[in-house]
Structure 1
Amino acid sequence: MSEPLIQVGILLRQQKIDFSLPAGYKLNGEEMQPGNYSVEMADGKILFNGQISDELIFEAGDPHHNAFGLKNVIIGVQFHWERKEDQHFLGSLKFIMENGNLSAINIVSLEDYLTSVISSEMSATSSEELLKAHAVISRSWLLAQIDKTRSLENAGTGYQTSFETPTEIVRWYDRENHARFDVCADDHCQRYQGITRQSTELVKKVIRETWGEVLLHDGAICDARFSKCCGGVMETFENVWEPKAHPYLQAKPDYTEGSPLPDLTIEENAEKWIRTSPPAFCNTQDVTVLRQVLNDYDRETSDFYRWTITYSQEELSTLIRQRSGIDFGEIIALQPLERGTSSRIIRLKIMGTERVMTIGKELEIRRTLSKSHLYSSAFVVDTRDEDDNGIPQTFILTGAGWGHGVGLCQIGAAIMAEKGYNYQQILTHYFPESEIITNYQ
């Protein structure tokens, strides 16, 4: 197998997109003049230079060196640090119409894509072993998603991402809105910011030395997931996404020596775990290590292993109504009904004066209880300041971890690398029952 080309959705659901081309790009075989351009919608099609099209592809003469620019790319979509940047990308540029909107797609070689992902997901100055581990899991995850898409297409089956009843909404977020490209460029998939994030010789060396390497389990490429901070314990895949167990994505403490892990699906154990700060690789405030792992906007979040957020009754009831589209009235209680193996809540009952509803899974809970995304769904709730009707006026959420907690814990892996573990040992820790193979030369 040779290195594949992949398609990455960069700017999605737009009315107009501004871009720039250097020398070396062609449209329909004709050389394009270097300069600034724009495309926009017109009667459900793409308007460019007075011509109407269903699709446009600006082909790079040298896909490993030619780089186009896109204006006002949104990064951190719906997160607290969401912002716009002008970005540049290696490879070809494709514009498509999708669901009545205009989208920009980057066609790029997989290893060029990975060079950017490693520099976008973390600092390009991270330790070599951490970067190698991340290169392997990012490559594995992407190829696993492509294989999954092909399997679904061949089977002719749809992909269900929610179950709803009059009293319960269970929803997860994984492959929606990605029918016309392989992955998107934001945290929904993997952060990919082209050559905008400065790469280093170390990153390029890491890509060369792990070229084509993937994680394999039982003959299939592993759906290798990762998050910022597991909070001390890794979560299982099926508690976050579709109900399918993966032996390499199971509950495991983020340490190699220590006390046996309590059963965090039990409420009493989960509460004790979250309210304390047990030792783990990711339990660190080492600024030097965090600076290696976290980009500038990620460091705007200072507390991640354990965190606290306080809402007034008015703030919480308004937030839940706006985020869920359901008017619960005043919020009486937030009651965990089911927790995963890392203490993350996967079913939460919201009890209000007007409505009672259960929601899940973890990302649906995080989205409902925050203007962007709550750091994680591993939290306990304290209430105070009850009014004359016994309704709390203050809610305090105390939580653990940052992200879904499945697979590799980026901060934990960074500490492992600092302690001298090599990338194979890091991957064995976070993905048991997997092996590293070379998928292509």
Structure 2
Amino acid sequence: MSPPPSLETLPSELILHTLSFLPLDAIASFSQTSVFFSQLVYGNGNDGSLWRTLYLSSFDDPSISAWDLRPPPSKDGSARSKRLALEKEDRRYQWREGARQSVTALREWKAGRMDLVRAEADQVDLNYRALLNLLLTAPPAGTPSLNLPKLVSALPSSLPTLHMLPDQTQPVYHQLMAHLLPLPLPKSPRAYDNLLNEAREIVYSIAAARGSLETPEGKIDFKVVHALNVVQHWNMTRGMEGQVWDPEETCHAPWPWRAEHARPAPRREEIWTSEKSGDWDWAGIGGGEWVGCYSFVDFSDYITFNYPELTRQRGKPSLVGVEEAVGDLMHLKLVPTCARPSATSSTLPRIHFSGTSNSPVQSEVRGNVRLTNDNPPQVRVTYVISYGGSEKWKLEGMQMGGIGGKRGVVGIWSEAHPGPHSPSGPFYFWKKNVVSEEGQEE
């Protein structure tokens, strides 16, 4: 008597092809039905084609990540070159582990189990890195993304405090949240005030002003950038609601902030191929007007917070209850001076610029844009503002979302040549031409 028919008797290629049409959670359930199917799905004998198909059916293709700064590949369209490219991708992206880690991280984050109280340190760290990878492998702005809606929909109703996260995870957490802000912000006024006060105390500290947003290794200090986004989101809310500025002046602002604003613009191949220097402006500094705002606290409050010994302040310095002011809108017109990028290098040359600002008075502006040592590199911008040829202010910022990110540049202003007790505070610039007259993104 022959044995009854069984799925295990079917050719493995047929089973894998059928599985490729199922969602990832169904695959996981199927693999648990027998040792044979578990080995078929997760075993080393799987050539990667199943997991490549499964990953790309649920998540964005990492090979077209907007954060990839490498020059465009050659257009060799032979069958052999395409096969070799796929094999290289299989080795680089590890589709199976990427899918499993991403699904796990999204599930645990949504359930609020991403802290040391509910999970081991290594697993917490692995999950946050998987979430950040989803952010950094999204396609360029304007291209529909599978990753970003998943990240936003999985945002938990409350977030862990920093002492509940492993030390090695905190920079990853800050980078993720800086880009996803303003979601989620605390709904209760007291919780929001606590978050805002904590962020202000980071932003208005002397350490932040002297650190210029970077670590000694030339990488972004995302704890400061996260705090800057919290503070300037609050200040933009006040300004956009007409409490500070004329609403007609702000119609071009990328508002309200969304995760969509924090990803790079599409790569322009002419950056590498054009003979015209005007096309080498990879950062998009020129070709439009920049609008911006700055914020500050009363100088006496600033001194009391940073130098309590000068004011005989007792107890831990705090900015709780301190009023923060928002300055007039600034309008900058900048002209870049660009070097030609190399078609064989993954780095882009520093761009220098000069121009003018007409608020609050006419002034001269100069500065530069460069990439950091982060992986992927971040866009750093330095502005120096002068009055009558005398340098007055220096602004150190980072462009959120990478090259061409629509949210704009957040950073810290200070005196160009600071003394021991010089003031500082946050600023935010956005490019006016990234939003149309109707308020729709271009």
Q: Normalising to structure 1: TM-score of the pair?
A: 0.30
Where relative contact order (Cα < 8 A, 6+ residues apart) is larger, the structure is 1
Q: Normalising to structure 2: TM-score of the pair?
A: 0.30
Q: Greater strand percent: which structure?
A: 1
